[in-house]
Amino acid sequence: VFCFFRFVLVFLFAAISSTTFGEEIRQIRSIFPLLEKTPEDKFVVGEGRSYAMAWNRWVWENFDDPIPVEMLPAAVRSGGTTTTYIQNREAFSVPLANLDASLVRPFAFARQLFRKRWAVGHSLENQTGSSVGITEGLGPIFNRSSCSGCHLKDGRGHPPRTPDEPMKAMIVRLSISGIGPNGGPLPHPDYGTQLQNQSIPGVSKEGRVSIRYKEIEE
């Protein structure tokens, strides 16, 4: 009877401890937002999950890293305390390893804004769609409908491969002879400092750029 009673006490203690620990985990994880899937959340080949799913998994596994990154050998920290060990196409899209925990939620919110698509409209307050969906206010001329449209995967864009391929991750800077008020190039009086190759209906685009390559043999 004594052994059985002691077993019951141990079992109850373990259950209470487990419940308390579980509550702490839920409270800590509650500060990290789960990301909704966006149109750009394509499945990573070989990974079997999208970025949103990978992010949520990262939050789940790293809410309280038991091994400080500073304790890792320098050989595996090529980026210092900012080193990340994600080796897929989302390697540039994760928060820095040394980012303070209180800033992870703002990071996630900013990432949502970064991938938000803008549509034709004139009211920034009249939002159509979710926080990662579409917001009115695009135009009248523009290059891409979202920040990530130009800055593909946070720095993995590429130039056009053929003359007919549109420029997605590149822009054309414009200027005229002279120096601007801040010491930089002098903007073109009509086109400004950047050629806008897209426009909303009823408005003309500023222009179109075509890139051709020529191989040079030495």
Q: Is residue 144 part of a domain?
A: no
Domain that holds residue 39: 2-108
DSSP assignment of 107-123 equals HHHHHHHHH-EEEE-S-
Output the pLDDT for position 168. 85
Q: Is residue 142 part of a domain?
A: no
Q: Percent of the chain, pLDDT > 70?
A: 56
Output the pLDDT for position 13. 43
Q: Is residue 7 part of a domain?
A: yes
Instruction: Report the distance separating Cα 161 and Cα 31, nearest Å.
Output: 43
Q: Is residue 36 part of a domain?
A: yes
Q: Is 136 helix (H, G, I), strand (E, B) or coil?
A: strand
Average pLDDT over residues 5-13: 44
Q: Is residue 97 part of a domain?
A: yes
Output the pLDDT for position 195. 94
Least confident of 2-11, 133-142, 144-153, 190-199: 2-11
Look-up: residue for tokens 């999950």? Answer: 49
Q: Using DSSP bridges, classify how beta strands 141-142 and 185-186 pair: parallel, antiparallel or unpaired.
A: unpaired
Q: What angle do CA 216, 217, 218 make, to 5 degrees?
A: 120
pLDDT in tens, 33-67: 455 555 544 444 444 444 555 555 655 555 444 44
pLDDT at 158 over 90: no
pLDDT at 143 over 70: yes
Q: Is residue 150 part of a domain?
A: no
Q: Is residue 54 part of a domain?
A: yes
Number of independent structural domains in the chain: 1
Residue pair 211/159 in contact by the 8 Å Cβ criterion: yes
The residue among 117, 154, 161, 163 whose CA lies nearest residue 139 is 117
Cα atoms found within 13 Å of the Cα of residue 137, Cβ hemisphere only: 12
What rounded mean pLDDT belongs to the chain? 70
Model confidence band, residue 190 (pLDDT cutoffs 50, 70, 90): very high
pLDDT in tens, 87-126: 777 777 777 777 777 787 788 888 888 888 888 865 444 4
Look-up: residue for tokens 């804004």? Answer: 113
Q: Is residue 88 part of a domain?
A: yes
